[in-house]
């Protein structure tokens, strides 16, 4: 059997192609189901289709998680993201969105479990430092919270945050004076920036 027939001719390939059509059309739930079928079709994990299906399944889950989070439903966002977090195609964007959803649900340990690898891969990611400062403060680790606030100060004179993260930080700022000061001095509110 030729390489191309093996790559594009099997059951997993058909599911993968269906998934890509749905993904390209923005139908992420249907795409995710198709990519999962491609992965479940007894395809060896070393097969290129399996790698592509795993990558696009994670991307579809990320889109669905973001959409749910934007709609204010962190629990549904996590329902989409958690299976993908256990996979092989975890991206920094997925870790950041999951950390934000965990913060919204009050699961600081799970948020930290996302933020630690994210900051190892991308130590300059400002929103991750804001969230890590908040998480460490809530876990009672003032020294690490201060380190993350210092990283924010060192990287930017002014920082623009997503409206959702800004609201979380603003709501918890009264119990975290250092964060409140930094938020006031370095971040324009989403209302003032027109976001």
Widest CA span in the chain: 66
Kindly state the percentage of the chain with pLDDT values over 90: 68
Give me the helices (H) in 71-125, please: 74-85, 92-105, 108-121
Is the pLDDT assigned to residue 194 strictly greater than 50? no
Residue 44, number of CB atoms within 10 A of its CB = 8
Give the pLDDT score at 156. Answer: 65
Number of domains the chain contains: 2
Which tens digits make up the pLDDT trace of 77-129?
999 999 999 988 999 999 999 999 999 999 999 999 999 999 999 999 999 99
**pTM assigned to the model:** 0.86
Give the pLDDT score at 193. Answer: 41
Give the pLDDT score at 190. Answer: 58
Of 58 and 193, more confident: 58
What residues contact residue 56 under an 8 Å CB cut-off, 6+ apart? Answer: 16, 19, 20, 23, 31, 35
Same domain for 109 and 158? yes
Per-residue b or e along 14-26, where b marks 16 or more CB atoms closer than 10 Å to that residue's CB: bbbebbbebbeee
Q: What is the CATH number of the domain that holds 108?
A: 1.25.40.10
Of 5 and 152, more confident: 152
Same domain for 96 and 151? yes
Which among 28, 55, 90 is the end of a domain? 90
């Amino acid at each position: 059997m030729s390489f191309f027939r093996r790559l594009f001719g099997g059951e997993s390939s058909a599911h993968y192609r269906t998934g890509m059509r749905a993904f390209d059309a923005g139908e992420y739930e249907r795409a995710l189901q198709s990519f999962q079928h491609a992965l479940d079709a007894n395809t060896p994990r070393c097969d290129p289709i399996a790698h592509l299906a795993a990558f696009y399944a994670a991307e579809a889950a990320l889109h669905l998680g973001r959409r749910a989070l934007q709609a204010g439903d962190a629990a549904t966002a996590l329902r989409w993201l958690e299976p993908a977090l256990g996979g092989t195609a975890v991206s920094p964007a997925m870790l950041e969105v999951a950390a934000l959803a965990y913060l919204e649900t009050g699961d600081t340990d799970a948020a930290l479990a996302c933020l630690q690898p994210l900051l190892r891969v991308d130590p300059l990611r400002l929103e991750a430092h804001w969230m890590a400062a908040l998480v460490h403060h809530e876990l009672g680790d003032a020294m690490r919270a201060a380190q993350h606030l210092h990283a924010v100060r060192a990287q930017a004179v002014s920082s623009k945050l997503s409206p959702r993260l800004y609201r979380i930080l603003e709501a918890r700022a009264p119990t975290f004076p250092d964060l409140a000061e930094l938020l006031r001095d370095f971040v324009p509110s989403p209302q003032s920036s027109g976001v």
